[in-house]
A and B are shown apart, each in its own frame.
Chain A
Amino acid sequence: MSWVMVGLDWLGAGVIALGVGFFVAGTLGLLRFDQSINRLHALTKADTLGLGLVVFGLVLQAPGLAVGLKLIIVWTLGLVSAALVSHLIGQSLCSQRQEEP
């Protein structure tokens, strides 16, 4: 294995560790915040960045172009579904708030 490969491997591991840190922070927010809308905020911010960093780290370690591209597709789908789900949860929270008074 060449030095470049080893370097990329270590860089990937570092980036993944950083991403995991964001996941932990997001989970903490999910558990500690008291309002659903705040929890949503913590979760989506951290998950978007966390997932992005983990996927980026894995792409750096990927054995080939095909695997790397697949990972990027996974990341895109994850982003789309996270945005969609947050939007729906937000809507449902809004409707609850309007019903209450």
Chain B
Amino acid sequence: MSGLIYSLCALGLVMIGLYGLARAHHGLQQLLAINVMSAGVFMLLLTMAARHPPADAVPQALVLTGIVVAISALALGLALLRRLAAEEAESHD
């Protein structure tokens, strides 16, 4: 039962993230939307892992790897946005 609820939650997160990505006006909003989507993907993997006890360790390890890759991507995206903002500020000066 809880498996079904959480797979719906995962689907909802992916769809909300996709919606946010489509209507984002600011780079930061796009990054947040992508991260909401990635949380949904991770949750789907973990729901799949938890179907039969004991929980499957392979998807859980994949999610752990994914979290670190996601934060790398977020940090890189933010660095790009900061650089962009600095260049724009310079061209206005």
- A–B contact (CB under 8 angstroms): no
